[in-house]
Amino acid sequence: VQTSITLPEHTEQWTTADREYMTRALDLASLGVGLVSPGPLVGCVIVNDGAIVGEGFYVFEELKHAETLALAQAGNAARGGTAYVTLEPHAHHGRTPPCTDALIAAGIRKVVCPIVDLNPKVSGKGFEHLRAAGIEVSTGLLAEEASILNEAYLHHMRTGLPFVHLKLAVSLDGKIATRTGDSRWVAGPESRARAHEFRHRYDAILVGAGTVAIDDPLLTDRSVGRRRRPLVRVVLDERLEISSEAQLIRTASDSPVIIFAGLNSDRSKINQLTERGVEVVVSDSRDFKSVLQELERRSIESILVEGGASVAGDIVRSQLLDKVTFFIAPKIVGGRDALSAVGGDGIAKMADALELETFEVTQRGRDIEVTGYPHKQSSS
Ligand SMILES: NC(=O)c1ccc[n+]([C@@H]2O[C@H](COP(=O)([O-])OP(=O)(O)OC[C@H]3O[C@@H](n4cnc5c(N)ncnc54)[C@H](OP(=O)(O)O)[C@@H]3O)[C@@H](O)[C@H]2O)c1
């Protein structure tokens, strides 16, 4: 699978035990999903004499990093041991003291870590600090898995823009709704449950005004997992036509809603929505990059786009799409006027189609999930 960063060279032959410890560290890191953004997911396992003596994972609010938690659990047993950490430990004073200091002070002999942190304050400096203190540092083990786990964080660090994942449910003939606009439900319950897992991983969810008008969705995270920040609900509504009775507006005081409206939007409607707790951003909302920049300014580093066709068309054209998921249901909708998944003008030549560079296919109940990473122009 494509990773967002250049992977370090594999520096040694890994043992089965190394793989197991790093897999455990990655599993621990993923327990922080929903609890770390805008920071990275990090897990740590301390091993000594062939046994796990300490474990930890990062949770933003607890002000303790994975390494510190694992070292505290290990106590004296950390001395002479190996730390398996899923992301480069930081060597600077941030919200917490440097983790490299803690690893050195605890007498760790070796650090196994798959990837560098792309945060410029950390990048490379953590490994340097450990090596300067005489600790052996091995990189590259399960680097692909570690990069995917933090794909949104790493992308944001690399580009300064939020990571964008487009998710749609389509029929076998590529329709996202019938000719009347009915789309409930294209896909089955297993795909819908998976879509809720996605919502839990993202900082924001984005749809077009057409989807709000027809489906009147709530766009909330209904997974069972906890999250430290509410899912921000974003609507692209050039003509600011959203009904004040829409569920999104009625629930705006419970969970944030941001509407991107065009420059000619009606002032009194903006005031009305603002009074209901909605943030209206008046801008050239057709410029998707500027939408992303506005959201990034609000500390949003990842966005799940859930349609509809017009928004999907704009985003595909913008080339600012980082990941896609299509749930393909085994049904045929038909009809010239039934919406196809991706709107806009499309392309003239098949050779210009946006191709997935890497992808995975998974059965979800009766549906098929295709999740992959589009080929990117080198400039993006
Ligand atoms: N199966 C699925 O997964 C799925 C998911 C979502 C929706 N749907 C279905 O899709 C249908 C809605 O799709 P749709 O294509 O009609 O509507 P849409 O993409 O949800 O929204 C279109 C509206 O958004 C505005 N818009 C689009 N891009 C914009 C941008 N960059 N900035 C500002 N405004 C922007 C458009 O303005 P202009 O009119 O000015 O262009 C238009 O008013 C519904 O039937 C819904 O049920 C299906």
Whether residue 89 has its Cβ less than 6 Å from ligand 1: no
Whether residue 239 has its Cβ less than 6 Å from ligand 1: yes
Cα-Cα end-to-end distance for the chain: 18
Joined tokens for residue 258 = 């941001």
Expressed in angstroms and rounded, the spacing between residue 120 Cα and the centre of ligand 1 is 37
Whether residue 367 has its Cβ less than 6 Å from ligand 1: no
> CB neighbours (10 Å) of residue 130?
24
Whether residue 285 has its Cβ less than 6 Å from ligand 1: yes
- Active-site residue (options: 20, 61, 67, 241): 67
d(CA 72, CA 184): 50
What's residue 259's pLDDT? 98
Q: Which ligand 1 atom is the nearest neighbour of the CA of 327?
A: 3
Expressed in angstroms and rounded, the spacing between residue 209 Cα and the centre of ligand 1 is 5
Q: Which ligand 1 atom is the nearest neighbour of the CA of 291?
A: 31
CA neighbours within 13 Å on the CB side: how many for 77? Answer: 16
Q: Which ligand 1 atom is the nearest neighbour of the CA of 175?
A: 1
Expressed in angstroms and rounded, the spacing between residue 295 Cα and the centre of ligand 1 is 19
Expressed in angstroms and rounded, the spacing between residue 296 Cα and the centre of ligand 1 is 22
Write out pLDDT tens, residues 27-66.
999 999 999 999 999 999 999 999 999 999 999 888 889 9
What's residue 62's pLDDT? 81
pLDDT tens for the chain, residues 1 to 380: 334 444 455 556 899 999 999 999 999 999 999 999 999 999 999 999 999 999 999 998 888 899 999 999 999 999 999 999 999 999 988 888 899 999 999 999 999 999 999 999 889 999 999 999 999 999 999 999 999 999 999 999 999 999 999 999 999 999 999 999 999 999 999 999 999 999 999 999 999 999 999 999 999 998 888 999 999 999 999 999 999 999 999 999 999 999 999 999 999 999 999 999 999 999 986 899 999 999 999 999 999 999 999 999 999 999 999 999 999 999 999 999 999 999 999 999 999 999 999 999 999 999 999 999 999 765 43
Write out pLDDT tens, residues 346-359.
999 999 999 999 99
**Encoded amino acid at 65, one letter:** H
Q: Is 67 a catalytic residue?
A: yes
Write out pLDDT tens, residues 273-326.
999 999 999 998 689 999 999 999 999 999 999 999 999 999 999 999 999 999
Rounded alpha-carbon distances, angstroms, from residue 17 to 55, 78, 82, 147, 271: 16, 18, 12, 21, 61
Q: Which ligand 1 atom is the nearest neighbour of the CA of 176?
A: 1
